[in-house]
Structure 1
């Protein structure tokens, strides 16, 4: 495809010149990138930056041979960092001549700035562009070559179209060109092979594997062309044994071929300080300058900016953070283990200390697990009040490695934090007996007088006081973790004991720094949910409404869908107990709608949901459907007993039987009196349920309600007239009924928070209420919702 173009053949179609290397047969077609490169060369400067083996040269060759450049193409292959001006400029002028550009001998034989100025003047005489491609262009900043190329580009008035292929940003004032929109950049992420290209490369080696295997290989290599090629060569040998898929599952940077390639081509070429920085920071999944300094010391960490500039294996993540290419990171970690094995654990501990101090708990715990220091990980988790994250109560999970292994129960000098972590892990695993044993041991350890830390000799009262405060703070955090685990363990089967743990959490709260619990909404969410569930069963209905509403909001902030679902079910149960069946029906419906999770096992809240539905069906005059829901509730209660729900179920069953018997005898006052006397429910619950039962029985005695009729909101209640709400006020009220916060309503309706508050005040005035819950309740009574 190569041919030499005639000098100054302006306006002609241009192809790859004889300076362009031949197109290898193994190149994988990448039209998505060659199209970008073809568009890019219409501008002044195009930079293709990527690590060794990323496919920069292959991409440029494909473009040169399959696309038509906008003018003669002069291809110059440089010597990287070893390039010398006396060699570089003759190469440039020779390539221009070979591409068909007229370069007089007087210009070609010039030197230094005079050569650059003469060449620029000669190019400016042309009316069509000239494309100069510099492959492996790596001059040092402010070097004669870098300054000369910058000057040539600056003084050619757009005639010169420069394409640079490099392993790092070339020193060509890229920021200035970005501002002027004269720069197009293709970087490591752009050069990464996608799955189609990966499959095409494997096909060149006769490898045919499932799409899933291609995806795994693409992910493991970060789309790195050389890594995929090396993997394909190894897979080609294994093809006859039918093992390519197994090979991909194991393939990583510690593969011998990959490691040898990267060590020779990258690591061994680094200066000593840069090499040490790369190896030391390889224990990190992501790094910034401050963290690099904490691991390496300021003398080495100060080279971080140079590392970022010189190494295209580092991918920017934003805000000063970087991630090392996965396979290169594997190689660096392997070298670190081989060269300085005793340094790995201290580096992980150092990283954990910095990350923990900067609020990156999950990453800190991951490093402590890598250092095989579960005890210190446990102390960090308890100190940061993150036991709820271990239990899965938050959208911010901790590393999966926490669920493996655990501390020993025996031994002297055992600290409570590792035992508390073991209790939480046992709870996550579903091992209730082990959880109970660990909790009992932790309780004994917390009951012992503190014996860690210096006792002091009385000469430093301020220091002794600080030690006492630190011990008191640590004990409070351990007690909090203990109470949270107990709450989560007991809330399904022992609501009274769970409630006692919730009270302990509320007692401990004031002992912690101000707003500490606000940073962990999963703990208030669980505490309030446990309180609300107990208060319903104790007959404290108004208190239960307050607790459950607060729990619902906190669960949303924690991202705990399961707890949010359970709160909605308990609120539905509360409304059913109050005889507000329409509200109960709506809340139950919200609890079963995505994105809230469904039940994966028989849980108490599932029994409560079926009971709510049973009462709603009774209110509709559908005793048959009510019995179906009661049967489903029975199935759950057999595995998750709940005395309150069982009594409520018995009352609903009695009402359903009375309705089915019908007639004055079956549905009369005597029948109702007998049902109420038999129910072992709190007086306040019976006081609210009795009118509801009377309404259902009275409707049945008078001939029943039509099947499928609307659910009455309050038994025997009649809506009063009220001032009409505007459409926007109805929008706000509907979202209020869905337990959305003011901020969530504003975001969904594209209103400001203040505008939503104004609408709420108007709704409260028109409905003659003062609170959100009362507004929703009143709106349901008036059948506005």
Structure 2
């Protein structure tokens, strides 16, 4: 090959468009390409094939031959080819290769190409793939291919093009132009050169129609116009729109000709360039104004038959057939409202004129969905009732189909939102029983409705306090929602399981369920949809129980973002309880009480959620105990049967505060033996404190050890701070003396270390003076849980003598606390 510094061009180059830009990326691509035998630049009209090659050729040694119909004569072709090769260029560029259809000429060219001369490289420019058996070159690595994806303008290149035209535009607006044109150079230039958007669209349309359609026969033109209605097209859908039977073959043919048609997804589906599709649609609407609506209806019918419900509803709305839109929305679309496709579904329904929303039960259902989407929950009962009234007198099929949709809508957006959990259990049970009698022919959304109702019943059972039943239904809802592809209900079911686990005192299980909900939500990018709110609240409660108030606050903020300004009552109450708990833990009991009173006032009498009421009462009981008002707690719980472990714990604390240790111990024994691990930790702590108050040090130490053992796997921290933190600290320090040292302070991350602020190694401890014999005797008792009086009793000396020896030991080791003296003595090897 010639050196690239040789700038001679053997044949005249085509003139470049005014304002054409030099794109370094394409220059580099051609520099790389001509190192191989053949470079094929293949794309439809307006992609800048010739301009890119000519810009490159102006800087490199190349021969150029533009082909046309005359070159289908072998003699004419050979003569012009010889002329182009006269000065033996290193590269020969053959433009408009699609003009060559004569097999003899193609044979001459194929022979020349496949000789792979080391002295000659070819750049072939064509609108469609040439019939030259280039696959062999592709396999051998001797072919470079540059297509429309490579030729399209990128944003930075578009900015340079804009600059050459002396125009200014925000980067956001320019990016939108690049997105609309998909980088198509001709469209980009036309739009940038025409400031008026409406005029630009007309100019682009004219260009496309002039450049693409004239080369096609009437049947292909008609095919393009009819199939431009959907955003994606496949052979079967094309057949439904055209009435023919070779849609797939026609689409393949258009792809081969690079006529702004390309494959998308699997081999079945194709798409038109958006500007080309828009041009075809406008042309069809001008020529046959009624045709687009008919084709939209046909597209909707095809998609609903083939399971693409959202696409069907969208095309039905595009057609302006509101009865069809509502029929599809009710028959198959209601689950879309609870999916990641909710915005597109609601947008389609918003196209229905307001005055039409009371024309039929189906349209009224659409109206109710729009009311809910708008956040007007107070208007939902009336909207649902309107649809139910319009359904009266309809045939059985309509009552079955529309009635099921209304039952689901009422349960999810009226009963549940109000917090009427007893009614929610009743209505969801009735709906599930009705669904069990239906077939898929009667209710195409049967599996989705079942998953939604299982979720509702699980929620109702949870907040009515039937926890074991709630667990079963929520698990069933999780698996059903996954199978039915209603992911927001899968997320919500997992999130409610997280709340259920927390109520049962299982923090790790609660955390696992919340994490599982989060994984599904992140996969769909719906982390802050209402369905995810309960998971954030469960995490907030877990973090609070672990003593991580900052993290609990963060999760509460996430929950408030997810549940929105008008959440369902149950989650609103729970969010308030998280706030009460955080205020209580900070010692702000007055503020906590005020928040609690406001929650009770806001939920109002329609709420029927026994477990929520018990949680509110429990929060109030904790505040009362902190304020020393044990009488209210005793009055509330003493005569009540079936207390939750946390309620039993509150009652035990009230008994302890009033001196009834026997009654307290009975309750604590039940809680200690129960499965609620958070309450069990509290029960063991209260047991330890009671034993310590009675002077039973070993019992107190063992009880605290049991509390620590339960707390450690779950990382439970809050009870150690809630129940007389100072006395718990003393007990914990004593307990730690019996425990092997565990590394640097806090390094082990144990509950015990966090309570005591463990300092296992004391740096710079001075060498102790010799201890007296009696001081050594006292030293041996320091790692135990015995008090100074108990040590004195064991040694047969007075308690004051023991305390004097302890002070002497501290002074000799240069420490101030018993625990530090034990550490120093161990470092010295004395104990």
**Which TM-score applies when normalising by structure 2?**
0.67
Alignment of 1:574-723 (within 5 A): 574-575=500-501, 577-578=503-504, 588=537, 590=539, 592=555, 598-603=562-567, 604=569, 605-611=571-577, 614=580, 622=585, 624=587, 641=604, 642-644=607-609, 647-648=613-614, 650-662=616-628, 666-667=629-630, 671-676=632-637, 684=642, 686-694=643-651, 697=654, 715-716=682-683
Q: In 2, distance between residues paired with 1:15 and 1:657?
A: 89
Asked if structure 1 preserves the Cα contact closer than 8 Å seen for 2:180 and 2:274, the reply is yes
The reply on whether 1:365 has 2:313 as its aligned counterpart is yes
Q: In 1, distance between residues paired with 2:357 and 2:168?
A: 55
Return the structure number with greater helix share: 2
Asked if structure 1 preserves the Cα contact closer than 8 Å seen for 2:498 and 2:538, the reply is no
**Secondary structure in structure 2 of the residue aligned to 1:165:** strand
Q: In 2, distance between residues paired with 1:568 and 1:100?
A: 74
Change (3 A) 1:643 1:379: closer
Asked if structure 1 preserves the Cα contact closer than 8 Å seen for 2:40 and 2:123, the reply is yes
Q: In 2, distance between residues paired with 1:92 and 1:593?
A: 76
Q: Which residue of 1 aligns with 2:241?
A: 295
Aligned residue among 470, 473, 483 for 2:407: 483
Q: Which residue of 2 aligns with 1:427?
A: 372
**Cα shift at 1:281:** 0.9
Which piece of structure 1 moves more, 198-207 or 567-576?
567-576
Asked if structure 2 preserves the Cα contact closer than 8 Å seen for 1:584 and 1:612, the reply is no
Asked if structure 2 preserves the Cα contact closer than 8 Å seen for 1:627 and 1:656, the reply is no
Alignment of 1:153-172 (within 5 A): 153-156=113-116, 160-172=120-132
Change (3 A) 1:273 1:259: same
Aligned residue among 202, 205, 212 for 1:266: 212
Asked if structure 2 preserves the Cα contact closer than 8 Å seen for 1:137 and 1:170, the reply is yes
Q: In 2, distance between residues paired with 1:410 and 1:396?
A: 19
Residue by residue over 1:380-399, the C-alpha shift from the partner in whole angstroms, topping out at 9 and shown as x without a partner, is 23333x20213557679536
Aligned residue among 208, 211, 226 for 2:171: 211
Alignment of 1:335-374 (within 5 A): 335-374=283-322
**Cα shift at 1:492:** 1.4
Aligned residue among 207, 227, 231 for 2:191: 231
Change (3 A) 1:150 1:699: farther
Change (3 A) 1:589 1:482: closer
Q: Which residue of 1 aligns with 2:388?
A: 443
Q: In 2, distance between residues paired with 1:581 and 1:40?
A: 62
The reply on whether 1:144 has 2:104 as its aligned counterpart is yes
Asked if structure 2 preserves the Cα contact closer than 8 Å seen for 1:613 and 1:626, the reply is no
Residue by residue over 1:633-677, the C-alpha shift from the partner in whole angstroms, topping out at 9 and shown as x without a partner, is 665665555453763354134323332233xxx44xx55321226
Q: In 2, distance between residues paired with 1:290 and 1:140?
A: 33
Q: Which residue of 1 aligns with 2:766?
A: none
Q: In 1, distance between residues paired with 2:262 and 2:372?
A: 39
Aligned residue among 275, 279, 291 for 2:225: 279
Alignment of 1:66-77 (within 5 A): 66=59, 68=60, 73-77=62-66
Change (3 A) 1:231 1:421: same
**Cα shift at 1:550:** 3.8
Alignment of 1:306-317 (within 5 A): 306-317=253-264
Change (3 A) 1:610 1:94: same
Aligned residue among 385, 398, 417 for 1:492: 417
Q: In 1, distance between residues paired with 2:328 and 2:580?
A: 47
Q: In 2, distance between residues paired with 1:206 and 1:31?
A: 20
Aligned residue among 286, 305, 319 for 2:266: 319
Aligned residue among 75, 81, 104 for 1:92: 81
**Cα shift at 1:211:** 0.8
Which piece of structure 1 moves more, 629-638 or 396-405?
629-638
Asked if structure 2 preserves the Cα contact closer than 8 Å seen for 1:345 and 1:371, the reply is yes
Q: In 1, distance between residues paired with 2:311 and 2:8?
A: 50
Query: What runs of 5+ residues in structure 1 fail to find an aligned partner?
Result: 1-8, 102-129, 236-246, 451-470, 704-709, 725-729, 735-780
**Cα shift at 1:313:** 0.8
Asked if structure 2 preserves the Cα contact closer than 8 Å seen for 1:578 and 1:689, the reply is no
Q: In 2, distance between residues paired with 1:12 and 1:28?
A: 21
Q: In 2, distance between residues paired with 1:14 and 1:551?
A: 74
Aligned positions, number: 631
Asked if structure 2 preserves the Cα contact closer than 8 Å seen for 1:529 and 1:547, the reply is yes
Q: In 2, distance between residues paired with 1:522 and 1:636?
A: 34
Residue by residue over 1:429-464, the C-alpha shift from the partner in whole angstroms, topping out at 9 and shown as x without a partner, is 2344664444224323444252xxxxxxxxxxxxxx
The reply on whether 1:42 has 2:35 as its aligned counterpart is yes
**Cα shift at 1:37:** 2.0
Q: In 1, distance between residues paired with 2:36 and 2:494?
A: 59
Change (3 A) 1:526 1:37: same
Which piece of structure 1 moves more, 218-227 or 75-84?
75-84
Q: Which residue of 2 aligns with 1:544?
A: 470
Change (3 A) 1:651 1:309: same
Query: What runs of 5+ residues in structure 2 fail to find an aligned partner?
Result: 515-536, 541-554, 662-676, 685-702, 716-750, 752-831
Q: Which of the pair has more CA radius of gyration?
A: 2
**Secondary structure in structure 1 of the residue aligned to 2:315:** helix
**Cα shift at 1:311:** 3.2
**Secondary structure in structure 2 of the residue aligned to 1:217:** helix
**Secondary structure in structure 1 of the residue aligned to 2:562:** coil
Change (3 A) 1:30 1:511: farther
Asked if structure 1 preserves the Cα contact closer than 8 Å seen for 2:37 and 2:116, the reply is no
Q: In 2, distance between residues paired with 1:429 and 1:407?
A: 14
Asked if structure 1 preserves the Cα contact closer than 8 Å seen for 2:92 and 2:121, the reply is yes
Change (3 A) 1:79 1:638: farther
